[in-house]
Amino acid sequence: MPEQRYHVTGMTCAHCADHITREVTQVSGVSGVSVDLAENAVTVSGTALDDTRVRAAITEAGYAVHAAL
């Protein structure tokens, strides 16, 4: 399954990870979200990932997307 990894800052704890996971999971085409707090990384998997919508969901959750990794 295709994956895209993003550099995201502002995540500090498990609650942040849960929040991002919930928001991004709601984006259509997304089937999995994995957050690595130590790496400031969010990995999204899915067959029809919409980069713009994934980034918007992260931003709306209150975190900053700096780059696709």
Q: Which of 4, 7, 16, 21 binds Cu ion (CB under 5 A)?
A: 16
3-state secondary structure of 66: strand
User: 65: how many CB neighbours lie within 10 A of its CB?
Assistant: 18
| Distant-in-sequence, close-in-space partners of 41: CB < 8 Å, separation ≥ 6 | 5, 6, 7, 8, 35, 69
Shortest CB 50 distance to Cu ion, Å: 26
Q: Which is nearer to Cu ion, 2 or 10 (CB)?
A: 10
Q: Which of 1, 15, 38, 47 binds Cu ion (CB under 5 A)?
A: 15
Q: Which of 2, 3, 12, 31 binds Cu ion (CB under 5 A)?
A: 12
